[in-house]
Amino acid sequence: MARRLSALLVVTALAVACGPEVNLTQTLEVTDVLTGWYDNGIVPCYGNPSMQCTGLLPSIMFRLKNKGTEEVNRVQLTVAYWRDGDDGAYDEQLVQGIGPDYLKPGATSEALVVRAPHGFTLEGARADFFQHSLFRDTTVKLFARKSGELFKIGEFKIDRRILPH
């Protein structure tokens, strides 16, 4: 009997320590979104490194708002980049969305800026970039992870605009 009681106390303590389960799709709202193509300067051309090309990286800036009733912390984000016409992501990044400090209900995080590690390197002027025959639009899909669970929290098409340094 004492062992059962001890085991029950340990399980209860662990459950309380982990906090309530949170559905991040319902709790987090992606706000203040700005997308575009970050001007990465002149870089070696993909496939022909002896040539110089314009390099642009898909970029997204946003904030996370806690629209739930519980404080939230320790949320990791997966930022996945999908080119139009592809059946999967061509690139993705893991970033910290909310750190160890809690985001209170109704509060909004600091702005997060995420740029893909890879984008387009194309010959020609930046002004002609979006009309280039090899250019394809890109969509960013945002997923939040907490306690091993993954939740889709947003999807945003990258605007056809060049973001300066």
- Which residue, among 32, 111, 99, has the nearest Cα to 72 in the 3D structure? 99
Give the pLDDT confidence score for residue 71 in this predicted structure: 96
Give the pLDDT confidence score for residue 20 in this predicted structure: 56
Give the pLDDT confidence score for residue 10 in this predicted structure: 40
pLDDT tens series, the chain, 165 aa = 545 544 433 444 443 444 557 899 999 999 999 999 999 999 998 888 899 998 999 999 999 999 999 999 999 999 999 999 999 999 999 999 999 999 999 999 999 999 999 998 888 888 888 998 889 999 999 999 998 899 999 999 999 999 977
Give the pLDDT confidence score for residue 48 in this predicted structure: 86
List the domain boundaries for the chain. Answer: 22-163
Strand, helix or coil for residue 138: strand
Per CATH, the architecture of 22-163 is what?
Answer: Sandwich (2.60)
Model confidence over 9-34: pLDDT tens digits? 344 444 344 455 789 999 999 999 99
Sign of CA dihedral 94, 99, 100, 106: negative
3-state helix, strand, coil in the chain (%, to 5): 15, 50, 35
What is the distance between the alpha carbons of residues 90 and 43, in angstroms, rounded to a whole number?
20
